């Protein structure tokens, strides 16, 4: 379990959920930070710093550290924001024309995700999914674009558990049969519906919201009777 000061520093650095001093005192600002973080990542919003909140906060910081390491910062991926992580964030912000505040907010995450070099003209090859996983179930049509394939792998990597694409490309006929809206991004290969084994739909939705906030996707939703435990995320043509 993180100490109170470690929690405060993590929550200050990660999207500026905590706005007070790093004083090790659980006051109103700290409790508010707990609640805002819990809401952001899809946990029960009770303001209580239990094991689920602790584990999720550590995981979010580990993801941030891993992202920074792709740019050569060689941080220990330990889920704790120390001086090395803060200095890496500030250096990355300076090099990318951002406000140098040591806060990993939407603009910093957008640069972290958007600045990663990608292969020039080669189609993306999924790590975990076959082409057939994205094909229309009624006719085999597969128009799936690289952006949504990368997101599928990203979600699978993040949770470290097997995942199933419940809907990828849809032909117009199948899209109508399943109640999809006319012009759905599924019909152009720019959307997926995904279920992660052993993970609640609310947790997957919370992570997909982070992907949208980073600028790599256009829209996400879930938690409806029609969707069940699946989460929809689409790139809207973003690549």
Which domains, from first to last, does the chain contain?
A: 4-114 (no CATH), 131-234 (3.30.1380.10)
Residues in the chain: 239
- For 60-86, b/e burial (b = at least 16 CB within 10 A) is bbbbbbebbeebebebeeebbbeeebb
Q: What are the two backbone dihedrals, phi and then psi, of residue 163, each rounded to the nearest 5 degrees?
A: -135, 155
Cα–Cα dist 83/85, whole Å: 6
pLDDT digits (tens), the chain, 239 positions: 999 999 999 999 999 999 999 999 999 999 999 999 999 888 899 999 999 999 999 999 999 999 999 888 989 999 999 999 999 999 999 998 888 999 999 889 988 887 544 444 567 789 899 999 999 999 999 999 988 998 999 999 899 999 999 999 999 999 999 999 888 999 999 999 999 999 999 999 999 998 888 778 889 999 888 899 999 999 976 55
* Threshold 0.75, pTM exceeds: no
Of residues 239, 148, 152, the one with CA closest to residue 187:
148
Counting other chains too, the contacts that 117-120 makes at CB distance below 8 Å and 24 or more residues apart are: none
The bridge status of strand 191-196 relative to strand 163-167 is: antiparallel
């Amino acid at each position: 379990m993180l100490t109170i000061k470690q929690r405060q520093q993590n929550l200050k650095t990660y999207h500026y959920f905590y706005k007070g001093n790093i004083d090790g005192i659980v006051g109103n600002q700290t409790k508010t930070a707990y609640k805002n973080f819990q809401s952001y990542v899809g946990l029960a919003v009770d303001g209580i710093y239990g094991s689920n909140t602790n584990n999720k906060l550590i995981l979010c910081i580990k993801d941030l550290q891993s992202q920074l390491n792709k740019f050569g910062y060689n941080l220990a991926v330990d889920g704790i924001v120390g001086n090395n992580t803060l200095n890496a964030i500030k250096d990355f912000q300076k090099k990318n024309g951002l406000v140098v505040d040591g806060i990993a907010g939407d603009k910093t995450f957008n640069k972290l995700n958007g600045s990663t070099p990608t292969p020039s003209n080669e189609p993306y090859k999924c790590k975990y999914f076959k082409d057939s996983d994205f094909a229309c179930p009624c006719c085999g049509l597969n128009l799936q674009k690289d952006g949504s394939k990368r997101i599928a792998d990203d979600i699978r990597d993040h949770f470290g558990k097997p995942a199933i694409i419940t809907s990828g490309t849809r032909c117009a006929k199948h899209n109508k049969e399943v109640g999809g809206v006319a012009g759905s991004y599924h019909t152009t290969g720019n959307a997926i519906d995904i279920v992660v084994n052993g993970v609640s739909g609310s947790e997957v939705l919370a992570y997909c919201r982070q992907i949208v906030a980073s600028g790599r996707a256009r829209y996400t939703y879930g938690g409806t009777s029609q969707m069940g435990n699946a989460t929809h995320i689409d790139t809207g043509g973003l690549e």
